[in-house]
């Protein structure tokens, strides 16, 4: 199926969608959670396999985006926000954005989750109509529901500030030093453009990082993309435990 420019996909039964879910690099959704599935779009070219499907989970209609485009791959802002445009075109009101991120907070461990409570945007290519934007990008209500879900299934989650960079490389030692100094808790190369764009469309957003690697100034090795992907896949287990309890709380 070709990705339509108007980004409005025909959904089975015209169901009201309870949630759009963006799965970041390596973040997996376990099949056991998916009750029925309707593939809307698939693209296997490029670094990140892209798949869009509607499905039911906990009896609710969910729109899933696996894979996203990044600035470091050379994509435009239009492509980077395409998932949000699709979600908005489908009448989505709630979005859970996930990503793989490097952990900066000394209390974090590989594979843990972090609820993004605020961000610092280091991408200078965001040219939106900002007239209806304020600084409350993250829905307090969805955050509360997500934290509640974590508690219900006994999954540890941190809360913190996400720094968003264009990339393409992971952090140098000097960059890690600065990021720690300004008290970022996690760093990555996605999410913030989507969050800002979604807020402009009046969509409620909650965003969660999967900490795939720890950014340590004195470590000899830096993370590789493959390590990040495999850690994200294994760390997704906690996210998959939380999802049903989170979705249960949505309309």
Rounded least distance, CB 232 to ligand HPA, Å: 8
Rounded least distance, CB 180 to ligand HPA, Å: 13
Q: Does 228 interact with ligand HPA (rule: CB under 6 A)?
A: yes
CB 92 within 8 A of CB 9: no
Q: Does 179 interact with ligand HPA (rule: CB under 6 A)?
A: no
Tell which one of 98, 161, 212, 236 touches ligand HPA (CB under 6 A): 212
Q: Does 193 interact with ligand HPA (rule: CB under 6 A)?
A: no
Contact positions with ligand HPA (CB under 6 A) in 60-99: none
| Cα atoms in the 13 Å half-sphere on the side-chain side of 102 | 27
What three-state secondary structure class fits 45? Answer: coil
**Nearest residue (CB) to ligand HPA, 113 versus 247:** 113
Q: Does 208 interact with ligand HPA (rule: CB under 6 A)?
A: no
Q: Cα separation of 119 and 186, whole Å?
A: 9
Binding mask 106-145 for ligand HPA (x = CB under 6 A): ----------------------------------------
**Nearest residue (CB) to ligand HPA, 86 versus 179:** 179
CA-based torsion, 68, 71, 75, 81: positive or negative: positive
Rounded least distance, CB 154 to ligand HPA, Å: 25
Bridge partners of 23, per DSSP, are 66
CB 22 within 8 A of CB 203: no
**Total number of residues that touch ligand HPA (CB under 6 A):** 13
Q: Does 247 interact with ligand HPA (rule: CB under 6 A)?
A: no
CB 182 within 8 A of CB 95: no
Tokens matching residue 41: 């779009």
Say what angle helices 140-152 and 225-247 make with each other, to 10 degrees: 90
**Nearest residue (CB) to ligand HPA, 111 versus 244:** 111
Q: Does 171 interact with ligand HPA (rule: CB under 6 A)?
A: yes
Q: Cα separation of 24 and 100, whole Å?
A: 6
CB 110 within 8 A of CB 235: yes
Rounded least distance, CB 70 to ligand HPA, Å: 10
Q: Does 223 interact with ligand HPA (rule: CB under 6 A)?
A: yes
CB 50 within 8 A of CB 67: yes
Tell which one of 55, 213, 235, 243 touches ligand HPA (CB under 6 A): 213
Q: Cα separation of 193 and 126, whole Å?
A: 7
Q: Can you give the binding site for ligand HPA, defined by CB under 6 A?
A: 100-102, 170-171, 187-189, 212-213, 215, 223, 228
């Amino acid at each position: 199926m070709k990705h339509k420019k108007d980004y409005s996909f025909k959904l089975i039964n015209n169901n009201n969608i309870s949630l759009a879910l963006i799965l970041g690099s390596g973040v997996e959704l376990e099949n056991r959670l998916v009750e029925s599935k309707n593939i809307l779009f698939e693209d296997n070219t490029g670094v990140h396999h892209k798949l869009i499907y509607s499905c039911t989970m906990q009896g609710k209609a969910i729109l899933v985006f696996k894979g996203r485009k990044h600035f470091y791959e050379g994509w435009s802002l239009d492509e980077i926000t395409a998932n949000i445009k699709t979600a908005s075109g489908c009448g989505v009101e709630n979005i859970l954005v996930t990503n793989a991120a490097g952990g900066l907070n000394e209390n974090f461990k590989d594979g843990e989750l972090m609820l993004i409570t605020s961000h610092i945007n280091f991408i200078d290519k965001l040219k939106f109509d900002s007239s209806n934007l304020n600084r409350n990008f993250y829905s307090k209500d969805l955050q509360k529901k997500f934290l509640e879900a974590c508690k219900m299934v006994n999954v540890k989650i941190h809360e913190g500030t996400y720094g968003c960079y264009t990339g393409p490389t992971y952090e140098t030692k000097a960059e890690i030093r600065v990021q720690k100094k300004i008290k970022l808790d996690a760093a990555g190369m996605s999410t913030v453009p989507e969050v800002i764009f979604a807020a402009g469309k009046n969509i409620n957003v909650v965003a969660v990082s999967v900490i795939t690697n720890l950014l340590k100034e004195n470590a000899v090795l830096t993370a590789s993309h493959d390590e990040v992907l495999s850690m994200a896949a294994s760390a997704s287990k906690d996210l998959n435990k939380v999802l049903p309890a989170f979705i249960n709380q949505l309309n």
